[in-house]
A and B are shown apart, each in its own frame.
Chain A
Amino acid sequence: MKKVNLKNWVLLSAACTMFAVSAVSCDDDDSVTYYDVTVNDALPSLPSAATLQSGTLTFTELNTGNIVTIDLPATGQLNIPAGTYNIEGNMTVKYVDNGVDVEKTLRTVASQVVVSANSTLSLDWFFYNPDNTLVFGEIYLAGTLNATGKSGLYDSYFTIYNNTDEVLYADGLAICESKLLNSQDLEITSVDNFIANNFTAQTVYVIPGTGRDVPVQPGQSIKIVDQAIDWNQQVEGALNHTDADFEWYDEVTTGSVRDTDNPDVKNLDKWYSYSKTIWLPSQQCNRSYALVRFPEGMTAERFVDEQSCTYTWLTAAGKEMSNDTQKLIKYEWIIDGVNLCPTEVWKRNALSATVDMSYKAISDKNQDPNKFGKKFARKVSGTSPAGNVILQDTDDSANDFEVVSAKQ
């Protein structure tokens, strides 16, 4: 019996092993691709040349959550890993105004900036001076899942929170919903409706009073609901709004749609609504909301008369369209504002970055059924010297709000 040629076997095995080892251990070093990004800063107009004192730019990559922070002034090009970024920046500048040295904080924000090649990035900087006054405390729009399990109830509500240590009055404040969807980026052609110029609102509901009728105690809030009823009567686990301070009621006399009015709860004054029937805030949570303090002497009639506009825009095919069912809100009237939109469908914010530099998403995915029963709640940032809870208000809703169960 002949024996196998073991030498050949060993050589053959060794060759195969070496081949396989080289395949197993093959490696390449291009694990992360970096691109050069040139940043062009556009500062607001200043009375004199400004000197940068300090500042940072923060790039947050959306896929991975990785954060790159760059100290300002940044010299030359930035070397940034490929990705889709939310960018935030702040800087302190010093300049001379009427012979006086002035130091101001500027901020900038840019959302979903894709870095996939060497590119130039333009950043618009704006003054940043958040005031802690009356703010949106909670916003609940998605509603509790209804009995069919397919859509939400209309148990939506807003709370307005006194973020100071002194009593503030809420009467005269308006809650406004944006005309523009944050999930669309139609090309606006009417200058008044440019996002940088005015807030275009499709509803304006005002807390009634003479200016000192609705006190809000420090650290307390008032609750404004769609229908001040106990929704538990319809769906177990829904919210009970019989304790609401106000409700918005739309009196409808034609057609089949009717609103529900709780006579024990005061109604908001309806200054304007695009809807011929009832106003239902966006259950998709893809619009913006503003808390507005109108100037002295403003009335509903005057508002409707002076703030009307024709909103025009271009369709994707280039055809100009127009609409008259909205009003203009000046940014200087807005004391708080929030942009909302699911991440997947976000295109731009209906509120200027001077009011809200970002947006808060109820969910990453559009039409996510898990949104039901969840509210936007402002985070707690601390306690005031008087012992009142201070809610976070940095005009940056992505960071100021969290999405939590409405039952909390």
Chain B
Amino acid sequence: MRTLADLSICFAVVMAGTVPAMARPRTLALHVMERSLPVESMRTSLYSYNPATMIMCDSLSLSELSVNGDMSRYDEAYMMQLGRGHTLLSIKAESYMRLSRNSVVWGDAGFTTGNNRDIRWTDCVDYLKLAPYVLGDAVGGDMSTRRYEFGGGWATGAGRWMFGIHASYRASVDYRNRDPRVKTVVSDLKADMGAAYSLSGNYSLGLSAGIEVYNQNCDVDFYNPMNDIDTYTLTGLGTYYARFMGNTNKNSGYDSFGFNLGMQLVSADHSGWGAAVAYEGYRMEQLLRNFNNLTLGYSDVHELSALTSYRIKMSPSFSIMPEIRLAMSNRRSTENLFGNAAGGSYPKIGDRSLYRHDNLEGSVAVAMQIGLSEGSVLSAVPSVAYVRDHERYESPERDVDVDHIGPVIDLVYSKLAGDWLWHAGIGGSMSFAGTKSAVFREMDMSSDLGKCVMHNYRMLASDRMSGTLSAGASRYVDGLLVGIDITYYTTSFEHHGSCHGASATVSVKF
């Protein structure tokens, strides 16, 4: 896997290196600045929904090598399964290269290492993708991680048609070197293809489709032969398979096949209307390797997202872009029931679909971009965001229904002065929680598992306030735009402490 990642990074670096070094200090700096402004970056992200529309994503070739360090610390975990922060170091190479007027390639490769702190009640990774069927225990601990990612795509145009393909692969190994010892291996392959048709005028209508093949193998081990840490096979909101808890089951495998469909409306010049609708569905099966690959249960997940925006240039130095986003997801999980074991095999005698998790997110934003003077731009993105999270288990009845609403504001000042490109930003948000339902029938609140459920609920139902400070500088040096970006972020949870984090990135763009 290491070799694979190294090769992929080399691929991205070589690909980036094939871009002709252009003597374009101010052009490159201006381009980078424009791309990083909220209005442009919000619009540009739309083109990545469909490999075919990537041909319109950028007019110039741009490559980047970056090294990022990110550290965060939580007083209390937002979710125990997500831990109390992380310390991660990553290196990434990415490139977007225009081969001709009608053909582009792009690719990226990255490696991340570090650790995630104090994760409990899951020994598996990608918790939000697997939940609620994970192995977990009350002790948990820090998890070291090594993650390798790479991907690449190609898009071409023929007449009014555009076609594109993209594939990406992620592999990761997460482990813990003390009891409960964990070794979790993830393999995640995605492949997408798309087509777009240039409508009369500035707009193109795109259709995309893709698949995802996901596997995870999670092994738990105890070196202490007197181990008395129970491993739970969790089924959501503090429930678990009583039959497979204790110290018997120490392995959980996951197999998933998913697909996605999307439709987009984009403009060739990044102005006017932009819209996208995307659907993704997958079934995540949980297998117990120790029990003859017994399929313990599965989750059917449906995710739908939509966004639409309209970019208006009010004057040469002032443009705005209102944007509406909507995302909803539904997760319904089914537990299989088994009869008496025969020869180590458990016959399935029925199933129960008791767990359901619905999520709704929506936001309305108005991104504004104001040119203050030659080479200096102020961007502001005020928005209002709404999130509803509804998780429930039918019997015994558990029901957590919490929503959040609140304002968000982000301000960025960017300045191009000589060979230097500066930017500074500040952002903040408030989120007010409302609990529609909180039912925990038959839950032992004094147990570790009960405490975990209540902790997660209290964090979810707390009002929170977040802030971000960022600054960065780039300078053109020998055909390269060398930069550093620093971000500090914090979130305060009412009555539940706060989170502080900082991120620093050193990059070279060319």
Contact surface of A with B, Cβ cutoff 8 Å: 1-6, 9, 12-13, 16-17, 20-21, 23-28, 30-33, 61-66, 81-84, 112, 114-116, 144-145, 343-345, 363-366, 368, 370, 372-374, 404-405, 407
Contact = CB atoms under 8 A, between A and B. Distances in A.
A368 B328 contact: no
Contact of A114 (B273, B304, B340): B340
B241 to A, nearest CB: 6
A364 B246 contact: yes
A4 B248 contact: no
Contacts of B225: 144-145, 370, 372-373
Interface of B: 199-203, 205, 222, 225-228, 235, 239-244, 246-249, 263, 265, 273, 275, 277, 279, 281, 290-291, 302-304, 306, 308, 328-330, 332, 335, 337-341, 344, 349-350, 352-354, 394-396
A63 B277 CA distance: 41
A32 B290 contact: no
A365 B353 contact: no
Contact of A344 (B203, B277, B341): B341
Most buried by B among A31, A61, A144: A31
Given A4-B199, A9-B275, A20-B304, A345 B341 contact: yes
Given A13-B263, A84-B349, A344-B341, 6 more contacts: A16-B279, A23-B302, A24-B303, A32-B394, A116-B339, A364-B243
Given A4-B201, A17-B304, A372-B225, A62 B243 contact: yes
A343 B245 CA distance: 12
9 contacts: A3-B201, A4-B202, A13-B263, A17-B306, A31-B352, A82-B349, A84-B339, A343-B243, A370-B227
B344 A344 contact: yes
A12 B263 contact: yes
A4 B226 contact: no
A65 B242 contact: yes
Contact of A32 (B246, B329, B352): B352
Given A2-B201, A63-B335, A64-B239, A33 B350 contact: yes
6 A-B pairs with least C-beta separation:
A65-B242, A82-B350, A364-B248, A4-B203, A2-B200, A116-B349
Contact of B205 (A9, A26, A82, A144): A9
Nearest to A33: B350
A363 B277 contact: no
Contacts of B200: 2-4
Contacts of B242: 61-65
Given A2-B200, A368-B247, A23 B290 contact: no
Nearest to A370: B247
Nearest to B340: A112
A373 B226 contact: yes
Nearest to B240: A65
Given A6-B273, A13-B277, A24-B303, A64 B241 contact: yes
Nearest to B355: A31
Contacts of A115: 349
Nearest to A4: B203
A364 B243 CA distance: 8
A114 B339 contact: yes
A84 B337 contact: yes
A13 B207 CA distance: 12
Most buried by A among B227, B240, B277: B277
Contact of B228 (A5, A17, A84, A404): A404
Contact of B329 (A24, A26, A61, A345): A24
Contacts of B243: 62-65, 343, 364
A404 B227 CA distance: 9
Most buried by B among A26, A27, A32, A61: A32
B344 A16 contact: no
Contacts of B290: 365
B337 A24 contact: no
